[in-house]
Amino acid sequence: MKLEKTIRSIPNYPKKGILFKDITSLLENKKAFNYTIKKMRTISTKVKFNKIAAIESRGFIFASVLSFLTEKPLILLRKKNKLPGKTISQKFKLEYGYDTIEIHKSSLKKNDKVLVIDDLIATGGTALAAAKLVKKTKAKVSGFIFLINLFDLPGNKKLISKGYKTFSLINFPGH
């Protein structure tokens, strides 16, 4: 299946100069969504992990299904002030500003092996912040799975240069 054909591109969203990859068109296509989950499940067998971390918000969609299929706990990496318990925070730069993600202090333990899931890798700010959060808990990132890699943006290369395994189902140019 050509998943690329199920993704809509929205020019100048959320601001001028950005070509937004809208995954809702893939999610609304049951064959494409099921195929995506099956491919992510197959990829997940290539790394050793005991927990899955989902990056807010679209990462939640894929990670929750993978958590169910692999019978592994689901850890949420949320935007600032969205988690009710004691948290650890990581600020990071986006393509169009700054943001902060958080994790519950109690979510990960030393020596946990974490598979991180998100919909897209672009400049790498969010993914690197996720890796830093995992590291702050003394756990280890086993790998990343993304639906989309914007291959001409530096995010995936940054992760690889730091020794992380990355997997993507679709490669698009980011510009």
Looking up residue 163, the CATH number of its domain turns out to be 3.40.50.2020
58 catalytic? Reply is yes
Tens digit of each residue's pLDDT (9 = 90 or more) over 89-118? 999 987 667 899 999 999 999 999 999 999
Q: Does some domain include residue 28?
A: no
41 catalytic? Reply is no
Question: What is the percentage of the chain residues whose pLDDT exceeds 90?
Answer: 89
Which of 8, 41, 56, 58 is catalytic? The answer is 58
Which of 28, 56, 78, 95 is catalytic? The answer is 95
Are the CB atoms for 152 and 109 separated by under 8 Å? no
- pTM of structure: 0.95
Q: Which domain holds residue 124?
A: 48-172
Tell me the pLDDT of the chain averaged across its residues. 95
Q: In total, how many domains does the chain have?
A: 1
Q: Does some domain include residue 167?
A: yes
- Kindly provide the residue ranges of all beta strands, DSSP E only, lying in 45-139, ordered along the sequence: 51-55, 74-79, 87-94, 97-104, 113-121
Tens digit of each residue's pLDDT (9 = 90 or more) over 51-68? 999 999 999 999 999 999
Q: Does some domain include residue 30?
A: no
Q: Does some domain include residue 152?
A: yes
CA gap 111, 97 in Å, rounded: 33
H or E element at residue 38: helix 30-44
- pLDDT at position 175, please? 73
Provide the pLDDT confidence category of residue 14 given band limits of 50, 70 and 90: confident
